[in-house]
Amino acid sequence: MNANVTIELGFKPYPHQRAAHALLLVCRFLVLVWHRRAGKTVFAVMELLLAALRCDRPRGRYGYIAPFLHQAKEIAWAYLLDFTKDIPGRIVNVAELSVTLPNEARIRLYGADNPDALRGGYLDGVVLDEKADMKPQVWGEIVRPMLADREGWAIFIGTPKGVNQFSELYFDAISGKREGWRGDLRRARDTGVLSDKEIEASRAEMSPQEFAQEFDCDFAAAQTNALLSLENVLAAQKRAIPEREFTHAPKVLGVDVAREGDDRSCIFLRQGLVAFEPRVLRIDDLMTLAGQVAEVAERHQPAAIFVDKGGMGSGVEDRLRQLGYPAIGVDFGWSPLDPRFANKRTEMWWAMAEWVRGGGSLPASQELVVDLTAPEYRFANDKGKVELESKAKMKKRGLRSPDVGDALALTFAMPVAAPADVATATARRSRTYRPHEGRV
């Protein structure tokens, strides 16, 4: 584009849109959790257009991806045409839903329902609208690699619909653990887009759950069958426990062993009312994992180590026993002690949930927030038992395996008695433990 040409695009941003634009200047990946009617789509299309206009690379490529192509067309196509109508020399291709600018940069709409149509190209920038409704591999296997060679950026936009891929991305983005990622959440009362009168009218006409989800951006609002609510977990993460209330209790380790692909192995230490920061690992070699567990066990001297023995976990259990540690294999599919539950995994998670709600203290881990609030349960399966959602079903919903949650649940596999000398020696201590003070 000629630097001397001034084009009026007809867009006047709200303060929260200006703030998001500023965030994108200092990060590469931005997750926007904005209330309904906050201007997510308009902002996203404008960011694509501004980047395309300024692109000084040959044949810049930018994309807007919605769960379905017809959604992308319905949501964004009119905005793209309107914002570019006064740009001299633009080329509109209705068949492929694209606009090419005079500098040869192109903005195109895509549908995630046909992910193979995305393969093979590159992108300088992309918007993913409602990622939670897309197949999990669209981002990791297809879109993310398309950004690699030109170090492109991505914006994820959406409104909460429970704990899912989108909420997981947001929590990861605000945790600070992902370099180059930022997150921004805006409720209806934060933006000024809707008047107070309209907000209150909406509140009166919607169910509390609907309003909390659409206008308060509450991730937990859509969860009707979650074993633990977001509120339960966040409260447990803020809870401080006097040392005299847990140091007499036995130390217990839970070890969840990764099974495949993106699964993680996790070592979780719990002592009475306190769960400490877990050690999350991506290790393929079982003996190396057993060594990591042994290192933790040597330092903390747990009374029991419960190892998920399903899949390859038996190898870790056997190695720990060879080394002289109190390892006990647990199969999630075992019959439970309590006949109310469908299997051992459900029984352990139920006990863990009661512990969280009953005063347990959790570390400030975003991974743990997602893991503990994501699984759903049925009060009565076909055999009349309470059943926790399986890992396989969670992955079909686009959620990762709750490995960290499983590791904590394993610490409730069986009752464990504390050595008498430990209980006597620590009973009189009075220091208060606060979450995140101790690490495994």
What is the spatial distance between Cα 395 and Cα 399, in angstroms, rounded to a whole number?
A: 5
Q: Would you call 369 helix, strand, or coil by DSSP?
A: helix
Instruction: Judge contact between 362 and 368, C-beta under 8 A.
Output: yes
Check for a shared fold between 15-214 and 230-433: no
Taking the C-alpha atoms of residue 101 and residue 241, their distance in angstroms, rounded to an integer, is 61
Amino acid at 407: A
pLDDT of residue 434: 55
DSSP letter string, 385-411: -BEEPPHHHHHHTTPPP-HHHHHHHHT
Angle between helices 366-373 and 165-175 (to 10 degrees): 160
Looking at mean pLDDT, say which of 177-181, 278-282, 318-322 comes out highest. Answer: 318-322
Q: How many residues are present in the chain? A: 440
Would you state the pLDDT for residue 379? 81
- 15-214 falls under which CATH superfamily? P-loop containing nucleotide triphosphate hydrolases (3.40.50.300)
pLDDT per residue as tens digits for the range 16-48: 999 999 999 999 999 999 999 999 999 999 999
Break the chain into its structural domains and give their ranges. 15-214, 230-433
Backbone region of residue 168 per phi and psi (left: phi > 0; alpha: psi in -120 to 50; beta: other values): alpha
Q: What percent of the chain is predicted at pLDDT more than 70?
A: 92
CATH code for residues 230-433:
3.30.420.240
- pLDDT of 100 reads 98
239 burial level (CB within 10 Å; 0-12, 13-18, 19+) = middle
How many other CB atoms are found less than 10 A from the CB of residue 22?
9
Q: Are 129 and 72 in contact (CB under 8 A)?
A: yes
Q: pLDDT tens across 345-401, in order?
A: 999 999 999 999 999 999 988 788 889 988 888 887 777 899 999 888 887 777 778
pLDDT tens per residue across span 55-72: 999 999 999 999 999 999
What is the per-residue burial (b if ≥16 Cβ within 10 Å, else e) of 313-339?
bbbbbbbbbeeebbbbbbebebebeee
Q: What is the largest CA-CA distance in the chain?
A: 83
Q: Which residues pair with 387 in a beta bridge?
A: 378
pLDDT of residue 428: 35
Mean pLDDT of 128-156: 92
Confidence of residue 426 (pLDDT cuts 50, 70, 90): very low
Give the relative orientation of helices 403-410 and 344-357 as an angle to the nearest 10 degrees.
90
Phi, psi of 373 (to 5 degrees): -95, -10
Looking at residue 1, its pLDDT comes to 45
